[in-house]
Amino acid sequence: MTLSTSTPPTEDEQIFEDDVHYGIADCRRRLREQARSQRSTLRAHNHPPIQRLDETSSDRATAQLEEREEALIT
Protein backbone atom coordinates (compact mmCIF):
# COMPACT_ATOMS: atom_id res chain seq x y z
CA MET A 1 0.00 0.00 0.00
CA THR A 2 1.50 3.31 -1.05
CA LEU A 3 0.45 6.68 0.17
CA SER A 4 0.03 9.26 -2.52
CA THR A 5 0.96 12.80 -1.72
CA SER A 6 -1.51 15.39 -2.82
CA THR A 7 -0.25 17.94 -5.25
CA PRO A 8 -1.04 21.57 -4.69
CA PRO A 9 -3.97 22.75 -6.80
CA THR A 10 -3.23 24.41 -10.09
CA GLU A 11 -3.95 28.09 -10.49
CA ASP A 12 -7.21 27.35 -12.36
CA GLU A 13 -8.31 24.91 -9.67
CA GLN A 14 -7.50 27.44 -6.97
CA ILE A 15 -9.41 30.19 -8.79
CA PHE A 16 -12.43 27.88 -9.17
CA GLU A 17 -12.26 26.87 -5.48
CA ASP A 18 -12.03 30.52 -4.42
CA ASP A 19 -14.97 31.41 -6.66
CA VAL A 20 -17.04 28.66 -5.03
CA HIS A 21 -16.15 29.81 -1.51
CA TYR A 22 -16.80 33.46 -2.30
CA GLY A 23 -20.04 32.54 -4.07
CA ILE A 24 -21.27 30.62 -1.04
CA ALA A 25 -20.27 33.44 1.30
CA ASP A 26 -22.03 35.98 -0.94
CA CYS A 27 -25.18 33.85 -1.04
CA ARG A 28 -25.20 33.58 2.76
CA ARG A 29 -24.71 37.33 3.08
CA ARG A 30 -27.65 38.00 0.74
CA LEU A 31 -29.86 35.56 2.65
CA ARG A 32 -28.99 37.25 5.96
CA GLU A 33 -29.79 40.67 4.48
CA GLN A 34 -33.08 39.38 3.06
CA ALA A 35 -34.08 37.82 6.40
CA ARG A 36 -33.15 41.04 8.23
CA SER A 37 -35.24 43.06 5.79
CA GLN A 38 -38.22 40.73 6.20
CA ARG A 39 -38.00 40.95 9.99
CA SER A 40 -37.89 44.75 9.93
CA THR A 41 -40.83 44.84 7.50
CA LEU A 42 -42.84 42.55 9.76
CA ARG A 43 -42.02 44.70 12.78
CA ALA A 44 -43.07 47.83 10.89
CA HIS A 45 -46.41 46.31 9.90
CA ASN A 46 -47.10 44.64 13.23
CA HIS A 47 -49.39 46.84 15.24
CA PRO A 48 -50.04 46.19 18.91
CA PRO A 49 -53.14 44.10 19.47
CA ILE A 50 -56.36 45.89 20.36
CA GLN A 51 -57.27 45.15 23.95
CA ARG A 52 -60.91 44.22 24.31
CA LEU A 53 -62.17 44.87 27.81
CA ASP A 54 -64.94 42.30 27.48
CA GLU A 55 -62.44 39.44 26.96
CA THR A 56 -61.06 37.54 29.91
CA SER A 57 -57.29 37.47 30.28
CA SER A 58 -57.17 33.75 29.36
CA ASP A 59 -59.06 34.46 26.11
CA ARG A 60 -56.65 37.29 25.36
CA ALA A 61 -53.65 35.05 26.12
CA THR A 62 -54.99 32.33 23.82
CA ALA A 63 -55.53 34.84 21.02
CA GLN A 64 -52.00 36.22 21.45
CA LEU A 65 -50.54 32.71 21.39
CA GLU A 66 -52.38 31.97 18.15
CA GLU A 67 -51.06 35.21 16.63
CA ARG A 68 -47.49 34.30 17.59
CA GLU A 69 -47.82 30.81 16.17
CA GLU A 70 -49.23 32.25 12.95
CA ALA A 71 -46.30 34.67 12.75
CA LEU A 72 -43.85 31.79 13.15
CA ILE A 73 -45.53 29.78 10.41
CA THR A 74 -45.45 32.60 7.86
Domain that holds residue 35: 10-46
On whether residue 58 sits in a domain, the answer given is no
Return all residues near 9 (Cβ < 8 A) that are at least 6 apart: 17
- Res 70: pLDDT: 85
CA angle 61, 63, 69 (to 5 degrees): 100
Interval 6-32: pLDDT, tens: 788 788 888 888 888 888 889 999 999
Counted domains in the chain: 1
pLDDT score of 37 more than 70: yes
- Res 1: pLDDT: 46
pLDDT band at 60 (very low <50, low <70, confident <90, very high): confident
On whether residue 16 sits in a domain, the answer given is yes
Measured CA to CA in angstroms, residue 36 lies from 9, 30, 53, 59 at distances of: 38, 10, 35, 32
On whether residue 28 sits in a domain, the answer given is yes
On whether residue 65 sits in a domain, the answer given is no
- Res 31: pLDDT: 93
Task: Kindly report whether the global pTM for this prediction surpasses the value 0.85.
Answer: no
On whether residue 42 sits in a domain, the answer given is yes
